């Protein structure tokens, strides 16, 4: 499971949720008319977003020049794309945001949409336009911080986060500060900032988000009971939250409760076939000897990635890591190089390292691994990749150190790759 992807995207999603909340709290015209509500599975969170969209559509039917409502509708479509895993909403979001005209709120929405599509240079540009129009908008700086983090502009991201905190020390600001601390290896600082984010949380969505992130910080550092507690507390605030459900499934895997975890993931991907969840489910199936079922999930994952790309939401980073883990070195390197040509963050540096390793180019891989670890992030997957690269180079002592570090950080970073890490460590120690 590529938790570095999950963590990198988690903070981006907070802006989407914040904008969706803004849409929900905005004016709604209940008079008859307007487009009918979109169809969606009977899931509370999705239904709530469809209700918001319908209210905004009704309002715009009567007030088509209401630019703020167009911006809010666009933001709501971005959120619908997330909760339904249906990227066709991105085009609807773009259309609504274009109708919002040249406003600061529209620029924030366009930046959020670009971040959701993983078009981070465009997100950065829209964020800067939003800041020009709304220099006191913490949300605009949040979009900028997310984009710069993904682009590898660490100093710029830090400045944007600090500006957010100066303007509005709320949940969104503290959440980004937490992630910045985490990327730099300051786990205590990350936890403290996220705790402050939770204290500032004003909605069930914000509470759920903060509890999820606190749970992830615990899970990623081998504190299962603490992680489980945070996931449960988050679900108490919002019982249909997908990320918290995924967190509980991971805890079940770590505790050896494979049937519970498999059933939870089965329901999760049926509800929201997000690439991350599909990959995690496939890996869990494979780790439990269910190779045919795992292959089917990988097929669904490939199809979902193609669907995302058809809607302008390319993610070569995730595709590269999946291909590398499945032994397709050529595909992994092609995808990783494509992503590296667009941005040089620690996330992509790790993908480049892993793809090069899968192609037997370990000396080059190590240089990218050095870049991936430059900020000091205590990431089990990064350490695992580094350990395997060092082992291939015959640097046994360093390889052992990196693999021990991976398992010490999070012995459950992946049901499949963690097993491989343990086997390689035993081999290096002469256990085979």
Residue 97 domain boundaries: 1-168
Query: Does residue 207 share a domain with residue 151?
Result: no
Axis crossing angle, helix 154-167 with helix 171-183, rounded to the nearest 10: 150
Rounded CA-CA distance 160/200 in Å is 20
Q: With beta carbons less than 8 A apart as the criterion, state whether 318 and 4 touch.
A: no
Of 116, 51, 43, the closest CA to residue 272 belongs to 43
Of 345, 368, 373, the closest CA to residue 355 belongs to 368
Query: Does residue 265 share a domain with residue 239?
Result: no
Query: Does residue 197 share a domain with residue 156?
Result: no
Q: How many domains does the chain have?
A: 4
Residue 321 lies in a domain: no
Examine the fold and report which residue of 231, 254, 277 is the final residue of a domain before the chain moves on: 254
| Confidence at residue 51, expressed as pLDDT on a 0 to 100 scale | 87
Q: With beta carbons less than 8 A apart as the criterion, state whether 62 and 30 touch.
A: no
Query: Does residue 68 share a domain with residue 142?
Result: yes
Whose structure tokens read 């794309």?
Answer: 81
pLDDT in tens, the chain (432 residues): 454 445 444 544 454 444 444 443 443 333 233 333 333 333 556 677 788 888 999 998 899 999 999 999 999 999 888 888 888 999 999 999 999 999 999 999 999 999 999 999 999 999 999 999 999 999 999 999 999 999 999 999 999 999 999 999 999 999 999 999 999 999 999 999 999 999 999 999 999 999 999 999 999 999 999 999 999 999 999 998 999 999 999 999 999 999 999 999 999 999 888 888 999 999 999 999 999 999 999 999 999 888 888 888 778 999 999 999 999 999 999 999 999 999 999 999 999 999 999 999 999 999 999 999 999 999 999 999 999 999 999 999 999 999 999 999 999 999 999 999 999 999 999 855
Examine the fold and report which residue of 152, 168, 184 is the final residue of a domain before the chain moves on: 168
Query: Does residue 418 share a domain with residue 277?
Result: no
DSSP secondary structure of 274-342? -HHHHHHHHHHHHHTT-HHHHHHHHHHHHHHHHHHHHTT---HHHHHHHHHHTT-HHHHHHHHHHHHHH
Query: Does residue 162 share a domain with residue 27?
Result: yes
Q: State the Cα torsion 361-362-363-368 to the nearest 10°.
A: 100
Instruction: Provide the 10 A C-beta neighbour count for residue 292.
Output: 8
Query: Does residue 69 share a domain with residue 43?
Result: yes
Query: Does residue 151 share a domain with residue 58?
Result: yes
Query: Does residue 181 share a domain with residue 233?
Result: yes
Query: Does residue 385 share a domain with residue 284?
Result: no
Query: Does residue 362 share a domain with residue 295?
Result: no
Examine the fold and report which residue of 129, 146, 168 is the final residue of a domain before the chain moves on: 168
Burial 86-106 (b: 16+ CB within 10 A, else e): bbebbebbbebbebbeebbbb
Residue 277 lies in a domain: yes
Rounded CA-CA distance 211/367 in Å is 36
Query: Does residue 300 share a domain with residue 352?
Result: no
Q: Which pairs from 35-38 meet CB under 8 Å and 24+ separation?
A: 35/61, 38/80
């Amino acid at each position: 499971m590529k938790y570095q992807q999950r963590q990198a995207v988690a903070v981006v999603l907070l802006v989407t949720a914040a904008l969706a909340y803004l849409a929900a709290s905005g004016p709604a015209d209940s008079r008859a008319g307007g487009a009918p509500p979109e169809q969606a599975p009977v899931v509370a969170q999705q239904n709530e977003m469809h209700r918001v969209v319908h209210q905004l559509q009704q309002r715009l039917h009567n007030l088509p020049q209401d630019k703020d409502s167009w911006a809010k509708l666009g933001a709501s479509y971005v959120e619908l794309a997330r909760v339904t895993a249906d990227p066709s909403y991105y085009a609807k979001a773009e259309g609504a945001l274009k109708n919002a005209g040249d406003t600061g709120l529209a620029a924030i929405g366009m930046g959020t949409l670009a971040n959701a599509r993983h078009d981070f240079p465009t997100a950065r540009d829209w964020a800067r336009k939003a800041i020009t129009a709304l220099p006191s908008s913490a949300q605009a700086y949040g979009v900028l911080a997310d984009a710069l983090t993904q682009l590898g502009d660490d100093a710029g991201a830090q400045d944007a986060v600090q500006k957010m905190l100066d303007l509005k020390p709320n949940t969104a600001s503290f959440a980004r500060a937490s992630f910045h601390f985490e990327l730099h290896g300051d786990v205590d600082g990350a936890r403290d900032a996220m705790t402050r984010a939770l204290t500032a949380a004003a909605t069930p969505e914000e509470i759920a988000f903060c509890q999820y992130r606190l749970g992830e910080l615990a899970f990623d550092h081998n504190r299962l009971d603490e992680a489980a507690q945070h996931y449960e507390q988050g679900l108490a605030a919002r019982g249909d939250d997908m990320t918290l459900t995924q967190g509980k499934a991971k805890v079940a895997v770590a505790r050896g409760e494979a049937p519970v975890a498999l059933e939870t993931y089965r329901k999760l991907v049926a509800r929201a076939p997000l690439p991350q969840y599909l990959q995690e489910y496939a890996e869990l199936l494979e780790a439990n000897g269910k190779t045919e079922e795992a292959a089917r999930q990988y097929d669904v994952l490939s199809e979902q990635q193609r669907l995302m790309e058809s809607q302008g939401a390319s993610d070569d980073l995730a595709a590269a890591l999946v291909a590398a883990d499945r032994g397709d070195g050529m595909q992994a390197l092609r995808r990783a190089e494509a992503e590296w040509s667009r941005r040089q963050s620690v996330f992509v540096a790790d993908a480049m390292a892993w793809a090069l390793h899968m192609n037997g180019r370990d000396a080059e891989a190590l240089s990218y691994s050095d870049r991936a670890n430059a900020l000091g992030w205590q990431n089990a997957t990064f350490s695992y990749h580094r350990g395997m690269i060092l082992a291939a180079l015959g640097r046994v002592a360093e390889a052992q150190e990196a693999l021990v570090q991976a398992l010490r950080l999070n012995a459950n970073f992946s049901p499949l790759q963690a097993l491989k890490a343990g086997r390689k460590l035993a081999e290096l120690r002469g256990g085979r």
